[in-house]
Structure 1
Amino acid sequence: MPMLDVRIWRGADEGEFIALKVPLAENRTVLDVVTWVQRHRRPDIAYRFSCRVGVCGSCAMTVNGRSRWTCRTHVKDVVDKGGLTIEPLRNLPRIKDLVCDLTPFFDRWQRAGGRFRGSRTRGDPLPRLSPDTRQRRLVDAGIECINCAVCHSACDVVSWREDYLGPAALNRAWTLINDERHVERSGKAVFADGGCTLCHSHGNCAAHCPVGIDPTAAIAGLKRSLYRRSIKRAAEFFIPRRGDADPHRKG
């Protein structure tokens, strides 16, 4: 059986790569490689996984310099010169080995108002939502996020601005703003410094998203919404309503 040269990060922020030889079975995924290492060479290696079928988002890592989910990434598709380099996601604190602390990632969701807040109770009838409305299509385009933090790891702005909410949180905010059942519409953090205006539209988040979501498009929608709000406020200030006195006229 052919062997694969694997380098895996061990330790926290201070650590090192270890080199191993792993049997290269047909159709083996990167997660299979890490699991083989844990079972046969390093039983104390720390890593996350759960569903193994691309649903939970737990297994995301950096593979050969690119943030990916590992359960659906086949070795044959990413191997470089017969080898793999596997390390934790970027832009997040490292706990141990391939496990990073997701607290900053989910804190950004909270700051962006990422929790759905409806007005109905379980005693009320279910709302009827037409799937062909513009708002519903906007929501559907970004609703399948699995919280893997791959986009967060790949984002250039996150790497140099700690106050930036990040693509996942802003994508979530965009889906809620367009959800007619959601009762919170302010989105103060989303439109403030550290929000959508910091995005440089590089598109790394969209290019890396394993489920095909385009957070860049969602953030562009937030920017357009902010622009419309600004124009409306400016118009209300500079253009008096009919019957109102001109606030800028002297005397």
Structure 2
Amino acid sequence: MATPVLDKKDAAGEPEPGFADSPYITVTIRVRRFNAEVSAEAVWEDFQLEIDPKERVLDALHKIKWDLDGSLTFRRSCAHGICGSDAMRINGKNRLACKTLIKDINPEKPITVEPIKGLTVLKDLVVDMEPFFQAYRDVMPFLITKDTNEPTRERLQTAEDRERFDDTTKCILCAACTSSCPVFWNDGQYFGPAAIVNAHRFIFDSRDEAGEQRLEILNDRDGVWRCRTTFNCTDACPRGIEVTKAIQEVKRALITRRF
């Protein structure tokens, strides 16, 4: 990939021959900072930096941490929209920082970055994910069969059977859907959309034999019936999963016991 060439002006302010205009713009990244060792209150802090608008918010956070303030704390791993670790609220909307381009979120105004809601903030943009993962574990997100012996051949499945739960296999456990849910904001005991999506993935898997167990788990007062169908979760999902549809299918399975 070609390295961008910074612009070079002559005495009259005109670009010198052979030099291209700079692709960089000045943006303000407004980060919600929290450090319990310093203060019990969160504060907003502005950082100004030069950046190519085709770069991502994650790149901007890297520039801040590496060049301006090494104490800035956030999670990230793969940086390619697969690990889901860098979910955060950007301009008031849950997004993955590694998939959000600067140019797509109006860089002429300060870009606000804050932690996802509904989970305890540990420091800056890092939240305690344990309640989220506990709900995930509670729905038994793994294949269960009555046969205690290892299979002697592959568990076959038709293309149609696989398609039945294809959408919910896309979940990357970023918590963007769960932390966008107003029910979860007000009651952290609610399983939340992500846990229900991962239960859906196995409830409708023709090879699994624990669908009834998972349905009973989700039939709890903190299960699927708490969903108010606001579609926040579907809008927030960076993988395009039809989360609300999956939740409704689980509700229907609870009523009809057909899945």
TM-score of the aligned structures, taking structure 2 as reference length:
0.83
Q: Which runs of 5+ in 1 are unaligned?
A: 231-251
Correspondent of 1:36 among 55, 58, 63: 63
Partner of 1:2: 25
Q: Residues 53 and 101 of structure 2 are in contact (CA less than 8 Å); yes or no, is this contact kept in structure 1?
A: no
Contact 1:61 1:89 (8 Å CA) reproduced: yes
RMSD over aligned CA atoms reads 1.8
Corresponding residue number in structure 1 for 2:9:
none
1:58 match: 85
Instruction: Report if aligned partners of 1:60, 1:148 keep a CA contact under 8 Å in 2.
Output: yes
Q: CA deviation at 1:161?
A: 2.1
The more displaced of 194-203 and 120-129 is 120-129
Give the aligned partner of residue 3 of structure 2.
Answer: none
Secondary structure of 2:44's aligned partner: strand
Q: Does 1:79 align with 2:106?
A: yes
- Equivalent position of 2:183 in the other structure: 157
Deviating more after overlay: 122-131 vs 96-105: 122-131
Alignment of 1:1-251 (within 5 A): 1-12=24-35, 14-79=41-106, 81-118=108-145, 119=147, 122=150, 124-133=152-161, 136-185=162-211, 186-187=213-214, 188-229=216-257
How much has 1:79 moved relative to structure 2?
Answer: 2.7
| Alpha-carbon contact 2:56-2:102 (below 8 Å) kept | yes
Contact 2:118 2:186 in 1 (8 A): no
In 1, Cα distance between the equivalents of 2:247 and 2:191? 11
- The alpha-carbon deviation at position 42 of structure 1 amounts to 0.7
TM-aligned CA deviation for residue 197 of structure 1: 1.0
Cα–Cα, structure 1 residues 122 and 35, in superposed 2: closer, same or farther, change >3 Å? farther
- CA distance in 1 between counterparts of 2:108 and 2:62 reads 22
Question: C-alpha distance in 2, partners of 1:130/1:64?
Answer: 43
The total of aligned residue pairs comes to: 228
User: What is the TM-score with the length of structure 1 in the denominator?
Assistant: 0.85
Equivalent-residue separation in structure 2 for 1:8 and 1:120 (angstroms): 51
Moved beyond 6 Å, runs of 4+ = none
Q: Give the residue type in structure 1 aligned to 2:195.
A: A
Amino acid aligned to 1:192: D
Q: What percent identity do the matched residue pairs reach?
A: 30
Tell me if the contact between 1:64 and 1:80 (Cα under 8 Å) persists in the aligned partners.
no
Q: Which amino acid aligns with 1:148?
A: C
Structure 2: state its 5+ residue gaps: 1-23
